[in-house]
Each structure stands twice: as structure tokens, then as C-alpha cells.
Chains A and B, each alone.
Chain A
Amino acid sequence: KAGVTQTPRYLIKTRGQQVTLSCSPISGHRSVSWYQQTPGQGLQFLFEYFSETQRNKGNFPGRFSGRQFSNSRSEMNVSTLELGDSALYLCASSSTGLAGETQYFGPGTRLLVL
């Protein structure tokens, strides 16, 4: 099975712009989670989608949003970018997202905000 894929892999934006990142889960997986990784804060949970519905949400401002399509692919959007949004954004997929399931991570999208 192909692993989790994320596009684009690298992105440079300026403050105030918005950005959309994409994640394709492993075939058959219906749960997609997003994480932000920064040197200062480490890995932080953004949100999780299952069957096109947001099922779980972390402590991020409303500028961070996401959605999931019927084929389980997911996108996350960050509006009005700030310098502090520079990070590696990881997505992870699992079959159902139930407790104890293995999550499979993608390679990440590295976002630089100038």
C-alpha cells in the first residue's frame, strides 16, 4: 500500500497570505489527523477528520481550518499567515481513528512564512 502523501512538500508564503495543504491517506483509511511541529512547541495536534466530519480539535486559533472529502483526502487551510505559523505540518491517517490504532504519518509540508 502506498503511504500517506502530502503536497506540497515545501512552501514559502508571506505574512497575511493564506495557504492550503493537502493530505492523501493510506487507501482505506478514513481518519486523518493534522499536527504542527515547531522547534519551540514540538508536535501539537491541530484536528482530526473522520468521514468528512471534524471529530476532534486542538487548541489552535480559528485561522486554522480543515476539511475532508468523500475519498478521505484532507486539506488544511491557514488564513492570515503569521511568522509563527512557520512549521512542519504533518498529517497522519488511521483506519478508524479509534483508541489504540496505529497512526501512519506523512512526510510533512514545510511552511516558511516571511
Chain B
Amino acid sequence: AQRVTQPEKLLSVFKGAPVELKCNYSYSGSPELFWYVQYSRQRLQLLLRHISRESIKGFTADLNKGETSFHLKKPFAQEEDSAMYYCALETSGSRLTFGEGTQLTVNP
């Protein structure tokens, strides 16, 4: 069965420091992976997806099939990056399996 694991529930960094949010997955098929973000009092929204290999708001994520990981990285964290981040695996069609989320706090 598919599974997504985000080992850190809470992550705190200082402004300007690098940040890495970890995501590991378990899936027998070819994975489609996403990062969703939820800012305070806003709805869940897509941050990036691996198939487009884009950088959004300075964040990047590389799919490592050998390590079954899809870690989210940003070289210099900003206070406005404080939010809840969810890693998600798409299996059949639009069905998403989410990790438990990581609450990122960027301190001034």
C-alpha cells in the first residue's frame, strides 16, 4: 500500500538559514509527487510537483527514486515561509495520499 512519511512534525529555523523538509514515500508504481502548503488562515494550495521540475518561491524538490524521497529545500528561508507543508503522493487518477505534515516556523 502507498504511504507518505514526513518525519518532522515541527521544524524551526532562523531567517536566512537553509531549510529542508523531509518526505519519504512507499509506492510500487511510478510516483507522482507534490508538495502542498497551507499558510495561516488560508486554504491548502499546491506549492510544486516533481513532474514540472519548477522552483516556486525559491523552493525546489528532487525526486530520488533510489531513496524513495522527495525532500523540499530552500537555501534561504524567509519569515513568510512559515506554514504547514504536506507532501503528497498521487496514485490512481486524482487520489492523493498525504503525509502528516511539517509545521515550519521561520524565526526573525
A42 within 8 A of B: yes
Q: List 23 A-B contacts (CB under 8 A).
A: A4-B43, A31-B94, A35-B96, A42-B100, A43-B98, A45-B96, A48-B94, A56-B92, A56-B94, A58-B95, A97-B93, A97-B94, A98-B93, A99-B32, A99-B90, A100-B32, A100-B51, A103-B46, A103-B94, A104-B46, A105-B36, A105-B45, A108-B43
Other than A90-B44, A100-B49, A100-B51, give 19 A-B pairs with Cβ distance below 8 A. A33-B94, A35-B96, A42-B99, A43-B96, A43-B98, A45-B95, A55-B93, A56-B93, A97-B94, A98-B93, A99-B90, A99-B93, A100-B32, A102-B49, A103-B46, A104-B45, A105-B44, A106-B43, A107-B43
- Closest-by-CB residue of A relative to B96 is A45
- Closest-by-CB residue of A relative to B36 is A105
How many angstroms from the CA of A44 to the CA of B88 in the assembled complex?
A: 11
Instruction: Bin chain B's interface residue count.
Output: 20 to 34
A94 within 8 A of B: yes
Q: Restricting to B90-108, which residues have a CB under 8 Å from any CB of A?
A: 90, 92-101
How many angstroms from the CA of A48 to the CA of B11 in the assembled complex?
A: 33
Which chain B residues lie closer than 8 Å to A107 at the CB level? 43
How many angstroms from the CA of A56 to the CA of B91 in the assembled complex?
A: 11
Among B51, B93, B99, point to the contact of A48 (Cβ < 8 A).
Answer: B93
Which chain B residues lie closer than 8 Å to A42 at the CB level? 98-101
B85 within 8 A of A: no
Which chain B residues lie closer than 8 Å to A55 at the CB level? 93
Minimal beta-carbon separation of A100 from chain B (angstroms): 5
B25 within 8 A of A: no
Q: Mark A82-100, 1 if CB is under 8 A from B, else 0.
A: 0000000010101001111
B86 within 8 A of A: yes
Which chain A residues lie closer than 8 Å to B32 at the CB level? 99-100
